[in-house]
């Protein structure tokens, strides 16, 4: 049966060795009180909650789903109690500043928490997933009285926020949205219009729900420059219900325990956040955090897929394998984990999930450094990594879930083992929070070509620095060489794309999807080169040390074909694409 155990050992490895985060914390005024033992204690508590409370509700939540009746939404049995335990544990406050009643812990630890929440119960974690982004948005852009009124509710978890962007005609293209906001004499606004696909737009976890709504003022210019952001609470302070009504929930492929709502705003009272017509900018502060979170969903699914496939492959006996470990005696049938096709899939599952963990946590660590340590390089790198993490991680989450399902054979297709749920749940992350195609354009057009490659140059410098450090150790020299070559290939490909784009301005759009995938593979190469090097800090007889070297070896043996694929596709995209 499906199960989940938080990978605390690997999380520690990333924090302690891969990132050497405690050293950074020690130098940072914001986190100087934080050390590794305290961080691990937080993660152990998060693991207890995820494994003990959320994971047991995961399959059940999928089967029962949400129920809508007359505008009210009931979440699956157990979700309300789990949420109560979540706020009792103080989890919403984890990465909020102490001035706001938060615990003042880094986003890095929040990233580990999010990974566990999504891996153990993606549907449940949809309700809480937007809270930190909304906190950042209000803290940065809302008027002081609005912050004072609503931030404490978010930090305590008494109210849950939503992001209301999509309308039926406005998905990727928010510029098409029609929802209207009429200014009132008291400084508030009345919002009217319909919103679609609003996660947690209505539920029974909290009495109040804080909708962050994009809408147009009466005199707004058309398109995306005429959009403003509003806070519209479900409950008004006079005890009245606001004019927000949930007129239905979607039946979906997965995350069935998450209520995906249609909301109708009917002269609902709200307050402007930030400046008029600058709603996208105000919402933008949520983006890096929200997209990183979606990437962590991909990591969570890949990790859950890996754990469950590993366990099944160890137990299931089918056919003799062509070879087996020396110490194992041949039986009529071997555990399928000895079969070459399964070994390959299992190694891919492990290297992908562990590699993504290092990169995902690195991005969170960079966000901390950018926010608290005024680290200019971190502030440039984090937005560059964001679209790669969002799109590459989510595609890998889906791919690895499918790989894991294949390990289970026919048992993978039946609901009883729930690995098929991992596959279904994982698929949405490639779509929402900016589809993966949008991410690819954001990466290549804006983040790489758009700044003349400055941020990308910083990234290459990081990779080259790692290659240089690894070259000093005999067991890492091969990885270093491959990483150097990869950096050269990345630099060339960016030059070639820029060059070509002068005469064929559409080319970067055609090349973007594979360029993003290429960058994803390159980040995994970086992750494994560093993991191999820093694993030297582990005791020689620690099995994790051997496993890290083994994974790095697998990754760099099998890496060239993936590079060839994406480099070839970027080259192939020089050919014009027909309109069909």
Q: If phi over 0 gives left and psi between -120 and 50 gives alpha, with beta otherwise, what is residue 448?
A: alpha
Using the minimum distance from each CB to a copy of itself, give the nearer residue, 218 or 325.
325
Are the beta carbons of 526 and 462 closer than 8 angstroms?
yes
Rounded to the nearest whole angstrom, what is the least distance from the CB of residue 480 to a copy of itself in the complex? 18
Rounded to the nearest whole angstrom, what is the least distance from the CB of residue 510 to a copy of itself in the complex? 5
Burial class (CB in 10 A: 0-12, 13-18, 19+), 194: middle
Rounded to the nearest whole angstrom, what is the least distance from the CB of residue 340 to a copy of itself in the complex? 4
Are the beta carbons of 465 and 480 closer than 8 angstroms?
no
Closest alpha carbon to 409 in 491, 319, 316? 316
Are the beta carbons of 253 and 424 closer than 8 angstroms?
yes
Structure tokens of 111?
């990233």
Using the minimum distance from each CB to a copy of itself, give the nearer residue, 52 or 221.
221
Are the beta carbons of 513 and 440 closer than 8 angstroms?
yes
Quote the CA–CA distance of 195 and 177 in Å, as a whole number: 9
Quote the CA–CA distance of 178 and 32 in Å, as a whole number: 47
Rounded to the nearest whole angstrom, what is the least distance from the CB of residue 506 to a copy of itself in the complex? 5
Are the beta carbons of 61 and 257 closer than 8 angstroms?
yes
Structure tokens of 58?
């995961």
Contacts of 533 (CB under 8 A, 6+ apart): 466, 469, 470, 473, 476, 479
Find the radius of gyration of the CA atoms of the chain: 24
Using the minimum distance from each CB to a copy of itself, give the nearer residue, 245 or 566.
566
Using the minimum distance from each CB to a copy of itself, give the nearer residue, 20 or 169.
169
3 state SS of 327: coil
Task: From the candidates 354, 420, 433, 466, give the one annotated as an active-site residue.
Answer: 433
Using the minimum distance from each CB to a copy of itself, give the nearer residue, 367 or 522.
522
Using the minimum distance from each CB to a copy of itself, give the nearer residue, 291 or 350.
350
Quote the CA–CA distance of 35 and 19 in Å, as a whole number: 13
Distances (CA, A) of 452 to 455, 456, 498, 507: 8, 9, 9, 17
Using the minimum distance from each CB to a copy of itself, give the nearer residue, 175 or 450.
175
Using the minimum distance from each CB to a copy of itself, give the nearer residue, 184 or 415.
415
Closest alpha carbon to 290 in 396, 228, 199, 171? 199
Using the minimum distance from each CB to a copy of itself, give the nearer residue, 88 or 557.
557
Three-class SS string for 435-446?
A: CHHHHHHHHHHH
Q: Give the count of beta carbons closer than 10 Å to the beta carbon of residue 270.
A: 25
Using the minimum distance from each CB to a copy of itself, give the nearer residue, 29 or 410.
410
Is 433 marked active-site?
A: yes
DSSP 328: S
Quote the CA–CA distance of 257 and 124 in Å, as a whole number: 6
Contacts of 541 (CB under 8 A, 6+ apart): none
Using the minimum distance from each CB to a copy of itself, give the nearer residue, 175 or 187.
175
Rounded to the nearest whole angstrom, what is the least distance from the CB of residue 564 to a copy of itself in the complex? 4
Quote the CA–CA distance of 203 and 260 in Å, as a whole number: 10
Rounded to the nearest whole angstrom, what is the least distance from the CB of residue 578 to a copy of itself in the complex? 5
- Per-residue buried b or exposed e for 58-79, using 16+ beta carbons within 10 Å of the residue's own CB: bbebbebbbebeeeebbbbebb
Rounded to the nearest whole angstrom, what is the least distance from the CB of residue 282 to a copy of itself in the complex? 21
DSSP 169-229: TBSS-GGG---EEEE-TTS-EEEEEEEEEEETSS-SS-SEEEEEEEEB-TTPPSGGGGBEE
Rounded to the nearest whole angstrom, what is the least distance from the CB of residue 461 to a copy of itself in the complex? 27
Are the beta carbons of 566 and 514 closer than 8 angstroms?
yes
Catalytic positions are 433
């Amino acid at each position: 049966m499906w199960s989940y155990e938080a990978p605390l050992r690997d999380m520690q490895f990333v924090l302690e060795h891969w990132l050497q985060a405690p050293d950074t914390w020690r130098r940072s005024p914001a986190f100087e009180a934080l050390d590794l033992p305290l961080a691990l204690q937080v993660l152990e508590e998060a693991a207890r909650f995820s494994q003990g409370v959320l994971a047991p509700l995961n399959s059940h939540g999928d089967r029962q789903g949400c129920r809508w009746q007359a505008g009210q939404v009931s979440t699956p049995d157990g979700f309300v109690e789990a949420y109560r335990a979540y706020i009792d544990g103080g989890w919403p406050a984890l990465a909020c500043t102490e001035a706001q009643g938060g615990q003042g812990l880094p986003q890095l630890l929040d990233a580990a928490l999010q990974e566990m929440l999504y891996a153990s119960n993606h549907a449940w974690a949809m309700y809480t997933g937007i809270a930190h982004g909304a906190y950042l948005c209000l803290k940065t852009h809302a008027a002081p009285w609005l912050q004072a009124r609503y931030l404490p509710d978010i930090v305590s978890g008494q109210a849950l926020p939503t992001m209301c962007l999509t309308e039926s005609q406005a998905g990727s293209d928010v510029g098409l949205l029609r929802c209207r906001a009429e200014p009132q004499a008291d400084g508030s606004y009345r919002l009217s219009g319909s919103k679609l696909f609003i996660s947690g737009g209505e539920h029974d976890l909290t009495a109040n729900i804080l909708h962050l709504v994009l809408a147009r003022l009466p005199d707004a210019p058309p398109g995306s420059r005429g959009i403003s952001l509003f806070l519209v609470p479900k409950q008004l302070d006079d005890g009245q219900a606001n004019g927000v009504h949930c007129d239905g929930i979607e039946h979906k492929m997965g995350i069935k325990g998450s209520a995906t709502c249609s909301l109708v705003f009917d002269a609902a009272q709200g307050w402007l956040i930030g400046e008029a017509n600058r709603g996208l900018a105000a919402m933008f502060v949520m983006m890096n955090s929200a997209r990183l979170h979606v990437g962590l969903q991909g990591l969570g699914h890949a990790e859950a897929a890996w754990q469950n496939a590993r366990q099944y492959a160890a137990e299931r006996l089918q056919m003799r394998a062509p070879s087996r470990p020396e110490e194992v005696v041949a039986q009529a049938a071997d555990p399928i984990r000895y079969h070459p096709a399964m070994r390959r899939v299992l190694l891919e599952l492990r290297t992908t999930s562990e590699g993504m963990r290092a990169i995902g946590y690195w991005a969170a660590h960079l966000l901390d450094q950018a926010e608290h340590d005024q680290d200019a390089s971190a502030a440039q790198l984090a937005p560059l990594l964001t679209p790669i993490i969002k799109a590459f991680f989510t595609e890998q989450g889906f791919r690895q879930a499918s790989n894991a399902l294949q390990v289970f054979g026919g048992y993978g297709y039946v609901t009883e083992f729930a690995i098929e749920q991992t596959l279904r749940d994982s698929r949405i992350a490639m779509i929402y929070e900016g589809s993966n195609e949008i991410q690819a354009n954001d990466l290549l057009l804006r983040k790489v070509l758009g700044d003349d490659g400055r941020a990308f140059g910083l990234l290459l410098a990081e990779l080259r620095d790692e290659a240089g450090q690894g070259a000093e150790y005999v067991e890492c020299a091969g990885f270093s060489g491959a990483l150097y070559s990869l950096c050269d290939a990345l630099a060339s490909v960016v030059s070639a794309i820029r060059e070509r784009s002068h005469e064929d301005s559409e080319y970067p759009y055609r090349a973007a999807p594979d360029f993003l995938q290429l960058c994803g593979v390159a980040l995994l190469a970086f992750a494994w080169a560093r993991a191999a090097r820093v694993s030297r800090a582990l005791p020689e007889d620690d099995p994790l040390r051997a496993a890290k070297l083994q994974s790095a070896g697998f990754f760099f043996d099998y890496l060239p074909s993936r590079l060839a694929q994406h480099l070839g596709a970027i080259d192939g995209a020089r050919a014009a694409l027909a309109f069909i």
